[in-house]
């Protein structure tokens, strides 16, 4: 059984027992998280596709860790002007273990 959920402006395929990294979700490690924007739920024999969401379907999980992703370097330069700019960015991420797919 798996589901497709939408969070942080992206879509993820999740299954029970898997661990995924999502864009930052407020909470502390050990807190429960519920995803109610479920786009698709698939059992062994049935597939339920939402229009755009599956009614009554939820995915629950627990927060394992709050962390930062890998560093991305942004470098801008204008030729012949002596203008250079270098900055870095680390995206905050939340690692969630999926506990249940209901619906």
Over residues 35-93, the pLDDT tens digits come to 999 999 999 899 999 999 999 999 999 999 999 999 999 999 999 999 999 999 999 99
Do residues 53 and 38 lie in contact, with contact meaning Cβ atoms separated by under 8 Å?
Answer: yes
- Provide the number of structural domains found in the chain: 1
pLDDT greater than 90 at residue 103: no
Taken in order 4, 7, 9, 15, the sign of the CA dihedral is negative
Could you tell me the residue range of the domain that residue 34 belongs to?
2-102
Q: What is the pLDDT of residue 75?
A: 97
Q: What is the pLDDT of residue 90?
A: 98
Whether the full predicted model's pTM is greater than 0.75, yes or no, is yes
Q: What is the pLDDT of residue 57?
A: 96
């Amino acid at each position: 059984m798996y589901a497709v959920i939408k969070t942080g402006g992206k879509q993820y395929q999740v299954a029970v027992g898997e661990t995924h990294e999502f864009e930052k979700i407020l909470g502390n490690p050990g807190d429960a998280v519920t995803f109610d924007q479920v786009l698709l739920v698939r059992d062994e024999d049935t597939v339920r596709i939402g229009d755009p969401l599956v009614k009554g379907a939820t995915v629950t999980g627990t927060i394992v860790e709050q962390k930062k992703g890998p560093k991305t370097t942004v470098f801008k330069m204008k030729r012949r002007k002596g203008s250079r700019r270098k900055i870095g960015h680390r995206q905050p991420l939340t690692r969630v273990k999926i506990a249940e797919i209901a619906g």
